[in-house]
Structure 1
Amino acid sequence: MRTTPRIAERKGTSRPVTPPVNPLPQTDQLTREAIAWLVRLKSGEATVEDGENFKAWRSSSPDHEQAFRKVVTVWRGLENVAKGPDQDATVTSLPRPMLRRRAFLAGAAAAAAASTAVAVVHPPLSLWPSWHELLADYRTGKGELRRVTVSREVSVELGTLTSLSVRWTPETPSIVLIAGEAAFTANMGANRLTVLAADGRISASQASFNTRCIDAAVSVTCAEGEVEVAKNGTRVLLRKGQRVAYADRGLGSVLDADLAQATAWQSGMLTFDNRPLKEVVDEINRYRPGRIIITNAELGRRIVNGSFRQDQLGAFVAQVQQLFGAKVVSLPAGLTLLD
């Protein structure tokens, strides 16, 4: 019985399905085989015989099962569509023997169209800009910082993967922070600048403040002056050194802020104080090329304290490996697993 699936080439020969770039270490042969099976099962060309062979491969040992589950974890993260507890429901469903190929292909095409529409609005893992971000007036790429002078009274520093649109009228000057992080400086005199972020409003006349909007969760830190934050009919006033967060459920409490940590990104640094590794990796992924995925929940809970230069994040994975003894597996397309 074959250990890995094979697909037909144009000339009628066959070859193993293997990653085209960034090959895995030879010691991770099971991961190679798991990737090959996953590609085959998701290709739309899987047969009933493939399904039986796959089940036999997967059940041949606990190591085979574990290797496949880890690869599925990465795939599900990229697709971001499977919501149920059955983590491999989207990859183990195969064409039934009595299902005609034409019907199967039609269903697959409809599913592909639907998933593409979802992906345009909600890109998996922020691998590409959403539709709203593409329409933004200003947008930064991964690892890019950019300063924008909106008017004589307002300047904005955009952090990585940040997009905003300007809605400027003399009566109601406003900026929409669509996604990402930005530092605003307003010298509006008698008027006020309004920043809209995830159904909340941040306004100030003479102030400097940092606003972060990631997945509809917003945090605002006041660096100078006074800033008013409103959400769902509730308002709070922030003064220098204070911060507040809000999400769908409303405003949180006003807390003291670590201004040095909150604004470190503006000087090319990322600073973390008693943060779980999972949260640190989420932030590093916003700056570093590729994608790091933690497959070990216990590892993700390890605490990190320290600062990292944004232009030296290539060494981050090696540092995690050295500090926590994590196992590192490199996958195609710049994906890295930490276990």
Structure 2
Amino acid sequence: MTDPNHSSAEIEALKHEAQRWVLRLTSGEATEADAVALNRWRLTSVAHRQAFAEANLLWTKLQPATAISARDGPAATTSSSQDSGRHPAHLGRRAFLGGAIAAAAAYTVVRPPFELWPSLAELSADYRTGIGQQRQIPLTGDIWLKLNTRTSVSALSSRGGTVDAERIELISGELAAATNNLSAKPLVVVAGEGQTTATHARFNVRHDGGTVCVTCLDGELEIKHPHRSSALRSGQQVAYNTQSMGDAVNVDTDAVSAWERGLLVFRNDPLARVIEEVNRYRSGKIVLMNEALGRRPVLATFRIDRMDEVVPRLQAVFGVKIQTFPGGIVVVI
């Protein structure tokens, strides 16, 4: 890492700070406040963001080795720890500062329990929104983005493809984008294994749980995936994952884009999907324990700024039993 605005000593100090942030997130005690503080630290300078990205990359490269260590650790280290009088757990945390990290702890960063805080990749993004937040970003005079709740986006090199374009990566979450034919460059949105290219269009992209869903709200889009390509027209939607991409289907674009108006619109959606969607906009987690109940259709419109009204409405409509726990955890029985 080089930066003309920072001395080598300052850069080295930033690297250690970034590693300490990773250790904090892997301590098992990380909170949403820690995520906010880390994002504030990252925004201090380009050097801060690069230091954290390098710490993240270091963990990624070491994941296979540390996974083996975590798998074999108890049996493999018993005699050595007894002989030396040291504790392997302490060695793991010290080792990361020299180039390694404990895999069991790191798992909580990649897959936080109940998704109660962002992952490392999300925290490394150039643009982020928290729970229930939305944010509009003008990329150029002719291209803008609107990020939905819990969304992470990174800027990519404008020459990462075969044509000169404004390129971004949707790491997770959902965004709306608009371009017009006056744009000097097309917009390319990379998400998962595919990418969406737009020159004159308005569209929605959602990246959630390994699945990417692209909806053309107006104009035309080009979708490229390792296994196939597809052209979308207004009112059409396509979904893909790492293995395949489905066929284009016609959808209710008003419901898809309702979040831009501050609404969640459900038209005979199963309750399980409704709860999954509501969870994106509130702190904590609603957990549905009744599979049969989860299949019941829901016809409703909720205001995003009134998510606290959802659970009482479910109780009134379905007569469900509710158990509440600290941290915003609600169990629907």
> Normalising TM by the smaller chain, what interval?
0.5 to 0.7
Aligned with 2:199 (options 205, 208, 212)? 205
CA distance in 1, matches of 2:210, 2:271: 22
Which residue does the alignment assign to 1:39? none
Deviation per CA, 1:133-163: give whole Å up to 9, x if none: 1111100000001100111221000000001
Which residue does the alignment assign to 1:129? 118
What secondary structure sits across from 1:228 in the alignment?
strand
Deviation per CA, 1:30-49: give whole Å up to 9, x if none: xxxxxxxxxxxxxxxxxxxx
CA distance in 2, matches of 1:327, 1:271: 24
Which residue does the alignment assign to 2:171? 178
What secondary structure sits across from 1:278 in the alignment?
helix
* Structure 1 segment 239-258 matched on structure 2, within 5 A: 239-258=233-252
CA distance in 2, matches of 1:143, 1:173: 27
What secondary structure sits across from 2:165 in the alignment?
coil
- Please identify runs of 4+ aligned residues in structure 1 that moved more than 4 A: 105-110
What secondary structure sits across from 1:237 in the alignment?
strand
Higher mean displacement: 161-170 or 199-208: 161-170
Which residue does the alignment assign to 1:311? 305
Q: How has the CA–CA distance of structure 1 residues 108 and 319 changed in structure 2, closer, same or farther, with 3 Å as cutoff?
A: farther
Letter in 1 for 2:223: V
What secondary structure sits across from 1:285 in the alignment?
helix
Whose relative contact order is higher, 1 or 2, with alpha carbons under 8 Å and at least 6 apart? 1
Aligned with 2:316 (options 322, 329, 337)? 322
Which residue does the alignment assign to 1:116? 105
Higher mean displacement: 225-234 or 176-185: 225-234
What secondary structure sits across from 1:212 in the alignment?
strand
Which residue does the alignment assign to 1:148? 137
Q: How much has 1:249 moved relative to structure 2?
A: 2.2
Aligned with 2:221 (options 216, 224, 227)? 227
User: Which has a greater percent of helix?
Assistant: 2
TM-score, reference length from structure 1 = 0.66
What secondary structure sits across from 2:311 in the alignment?
helix
- The answer on 1:274 being equivalent to 2:268 is yes
Gaps in structure 2 of 5+ consecutive residues = 1-77, 93-100
* Bigger Rg over Cα: 1
Aligned with 2:291 (options 273, 291, 297)? 297
Aligned-residue sequence identity (percent) comes to 39
CA distance in 1, matches of 2:123, 2:251: 32
Which residue does the alignment assign to 1:48? none
Q: Contact 1:193–1:204 (CA<8 Å) still a contact in 2?
A: yes
Once superposed, what is the RMSD of the aligned Cα atoms? 2.5
Gaps in structure 1 of 5+ consecutive residues = 1-98
